[in-house]
Structure 1
Amino acid sequence: MNLRLSADQEAFRRAVCELLCEDSVRDEVARTRRLPADDEPGLLEVYRRLGERGWLATNWPVEHGGLGSSIVEKAILTEQMIVHGIPDVVHTLSIDIVGLAIQRLGTEAQKSSLLPPLAAGRSVGCVLLTEPEIGSDLGGLSARAEPDGDGWRLYGRKVYSLKSQFADFALCAARTTESEVRFHGITVFIVPMRAPGVRVEPLWSMSDERFNEVVLSGIRMTPDDVLGDLDDGWQVLHDLLGIERTGIEFEAKARRLLDAVLDEAERAGSIKNSEYGELLVALDAEVRAGQLLAWQALGDMLDGELDDVRCAMAKWHTTETAKRISELGPEICGLTALLSARDDEAIPGWLLESAFRDAPGLTLASGTSEVMLSLIASAGLGLLS
């Protein structure tokens, strides 16, 4: 694919950059970084400002809150938000995963009611997939939808759900039909998160982004709440996981982390160390390779295809690279790199300490590195057939 931006796309990138560099946005970002350790940002004013311009979901149709542009403009926005330090998890979940799944697979009624508030930065969507006993093995789902008149009652327990404490609705996978075929009989429901029968509790960890446990106790679902086809939720999940794995947000995070390490290494003088210098050059090459992989995966989607192997390659490479930078940063920059941004003696605007704690999750979320390598080996290289 052609990796050079068009004149219009470059103008869009500059316009987004200008907005994200405004003092009010920088002040909001600084405030979120000073939040207490048990707090975290939800919807931000900058999301609403982006939404007002149709930029938050720029590739969606105008009637759904976007500008009708391509997924390239959407990727440009994602990169710029991360480069400028805008907290991105709510945005990634609501727009890049949940919203895009509804855009591709939802009914017209679902699109009309759910997408405009997401695109305007006034609503949050999340996903409810992982369960305590199955991890990433969605074929072993125990959450169930029991028949109830013309609908179902939903029961189950989901874990490691991000931002569900802020969410208005969630995409939830549950079993609707028992089948000898493990991946048949799964249905994806659109669950209102503030309805009776939905309980959200924190699962605390080292990460700044809190995980949650979500318990579903008989909340009623109707055919209007089904995303995609009944009992064919595996196909919905396949598309959903592919959307998560383009690697765009991970390569942008790796770039931002490495730039921070480079700046501090130069200030501290460690960049003159030949060992560190060679290491930083190698890391820069890995970040650039990850960007190319991510944009190639995006190019497949632009052409109406979803290359599972390329997405797995992009997801594996970009997350492993970002994790490696997070782990090597303190060695290169010294112990001050491990001071929290809330510490008065921390490097101004420092982000590596937080990234160091978040790093293990990068290679677990959206499919573990081991699962990605298995997919590459089997579907890509034919080694496990």
Structure 2
Amino acid sequence: MNFDDTPQEAEFRAKARAWIDANAPKQYEDELRKSSLGRLQLTGANVLEVAKEWQKKKADAGWAVPHWPKEYGGRGSSPIERVIWQQEEGVYGKLTRLFIIGQGMCGPTMMAYASEDQKRHYLPPLASGEKIWCQLFSEPAGGSDVAGLRTRAEKDGDDWIINGQKIWTSGAHYSDYGILITRTDPTLPKHKGLTMFFLDMKSKGVEVKPIKQANGNSDFNEVYFTDVRIPDRQRLGAVNDGWNVSLTTLMNERMSIGASLATGFPEIFEFAGSLMLDDGPAIDDRAVRSKLASWAVRESGLKYTAFRSISALSKGQRPGPENSIGKLVAGSMIQDIATYALELQGAAGVLSGPDEAESAGKFQAMLLRSPATRVEGGTDEILRNIIAERVLGLPGDIRVDKDVPFNQIPTKGR
């Protein structure tokens, strides 16, 4: 690939840069620049409110989700222009992460399966940040197996009645809508008999319970459904074809998370340049430099692997299984970097208060949040299987329950 801007791309970049320079919330730039995975706080301001205000300002000027069609709240930009926008948005893009599930996963699924009227009604406010969406997939009994879900949807006239539980749902506590995968026919094998819907998170019978995490935040939630009524017009795809619908969501999820996930490398590189060890600056230590070099190579590999996916998108192709590579590498990388940073800090590594030195607390918060990155969007083990089977073409695992009706699969206590 040629990574130099074409004249048209250079013009687009200049236009994006000028708009951002004139409209970005620069009063938060310093704090955004210093924030890391696991700690995004703004002094005297609510992060969600600031993010919504920035997203709405972008939407009013046509910059909200540049690559979406104009009729759905986008700009009709090319995949390459999308990358240019993300590069120019820089640190302010951290505010956009609050909308990544809706815009990166739910939106593409709605575009593929919702009716035209529904797309024109629901997508523009999703793009503008006025309405936030979540993804209701994982369940306590399913573990990493999305197809092992037990949330039931039973037909009742023109409606469906939903009962069950989801878990680890990011942002459910502040979401307005969600896409929901359910089991509609337990007599079919587990990957069949599934059906996808979208629903209002304020529907009667929906209960959201935030989960307290090790880092003190509550980004994830348990969501309970008790006789929740969803009209059939909010079904996405055919009845019992929910697995194929979910693949659209999952492929976009891996691309969105893998392409935008922080690695911690910029933070550790800057930190090593300012930290003093017993025998001098950390950056002069051979062992430290070796670590930094290794991570620099991985960071570069992630960048250009993401560009390969973008190139495929520019040709009209659907995001593929290779996007699992980015998420797998970045997830473990940020955990390793945070751990190493604490080792370099020594006794200072126990400090995490906001009144401590600037670096104290950054890597602690990063480390406490990092295990979640290795679970959300597919565990390391699931991603390795996807890469092995669908990228490298290796033989698949033996799956003894593959063609067994779901209600005949043995479970504990049965």
Selected match of 2:309 from 280, 297, 306: 297
Selected match of 1:330 from 336, 339, 342: 342
Query: Tell me, what secondary structure is at the counterpart of 1:231?
Result: coil
Change (3 A) 1:373 1:3: farther
Q: State the partner residue of 2:172.
A: 164
Counterparts of 1:157 and 1:322 in 2: how far apart (Å)? 30
Selected match of 1:203 from 206, 211, 219: 211
Q: State the partner residue of 2:134.
A: 126
Identify the range of structure 1 (16-25 vs 66-75) with the bigger mean alpha-carbon deviation.
16-25
Partners of 1:248 and 1:291 within 8 A in 2: no
Q: State the partner residue of 1:263.
A: 270
Partners of 1:247 and 1:318 within 8 A in 2: no
Partners of 2:74 and 2:127 within 8 A in 1: yes
1:200-349 to structure 2, matched below 5 A, reads: 200-207=208-215, 208-246=217-255, 253-254=262-263, 257-268=264-275, 269-306=281-318, 308-336=320-348, 339-340=351-352, 342-347=353-358
Query: Tell me, what secondary structure is at the counterpart of 2:168?
Result: strand
Query: Tell me, what secondary structure is at the counterpart of 2:321?
Result: helix
Partners of 1:79 and 1:252 within 8 A in 2: no
Q: Does 1:11 align with 2:14?
A: yes
Partners of 2:105 and 2:256 within 8 A in 1: no
Q: State the partner residue of 1:373.
A: 384
Counterparts of 1:33 and 1:381 in 2: how far apart (Å)? 41
Change (3 A) 1:229 1:135: same
Identify the range of structure 1 (312-321 vs 282-291) with the bigger mean alpha-carbon deviation.
312-321
Query: Tell me, what secondary structure is at the counterpart of 1:321?
Result: helix
Identify the range of structure 1 (321-330 vs 234-243) with the bigger mean alpha-carbon deviation.
321-330
Partners of 2:55 and 2:96 within 8 A in 1: no
Runs of at least 5 residues in structure 2 that lack an aligned partner in the other structure = 276-280, 397-414
Query: Tell me, what secondary structure is at the counterpart of 2:185?
Result: coil
Partners of 2:152 and 2:184 within 8 A in 1: yes
Alignment deviations for residues 15-49 of structure 1 (CA, whole Å, 9 cap, x no partner): 4653686423438858951579xx97465322222
Query: Tell me, what secondary structure is at the counterpart of 2:381?
Result: helix
Counterparts of 1:66 and 1:251 in 2: how far apart (Å)? 19
Change (3 A) 1:238 1:135: same
Identify the range of structure 1 (79-88 vs 229-238) with the bigger mean alpha-carbon deviation.
79-88
Which structure has the bigger radius of gyration?
A: 2
Change (3 A) 1:81 1:131: farther
Partners of 2:108 and 2:248 within 8 A in 1: no
Change (3 A) 1:198 1:77: farther
Query: Tell me, what secondary structure is at the counterpart of 1:309?
Result: coil
Selected match of 1:71 from 58, 72, 79: 79
Report the AA paired with residue 344 of structure 1. Answer: D
Partners of 2:29 and 2:91 within 8 A in 1: no
Alignment deviations for residues 49-70 of structure 1 (CA, whole Å, 9 cap, x no partner): 2222222211112221111112
Q: TM-score, normalised by structure 1?
A: 0.89
Query: Tell me, what secondary structure is at the counterpart of 1:50?
Result: helix
TM-fit CA distance, 1:348:
6.5
Identify the range of structure 1 (153-162 vs 92-101) with the bigger mean alpha-carbon deviation.
92-101
Query: Tell me, what secondary structure is at the counterpart of 1:55?
Result: coil
Alignment deviations for residues 87-134 of structure 1 (CA, whole Å, 9 cap, x no partner): 444221121111222123321122111111111121100010001110
Change (3 A) 1:382 1:240: same
Partners of 2:335 and 2:370 within 8 A in 1: yes
Change (3 A) 1:68 1:56: same
Query: Tell me, what secondary structure is at the counterpart of 1:165?
Result: helix
Query: Tell me, what secondary structure is at the counterpart of 1:33?
Result: coil
Size of the alignment, in residue pairs? Answer: 380
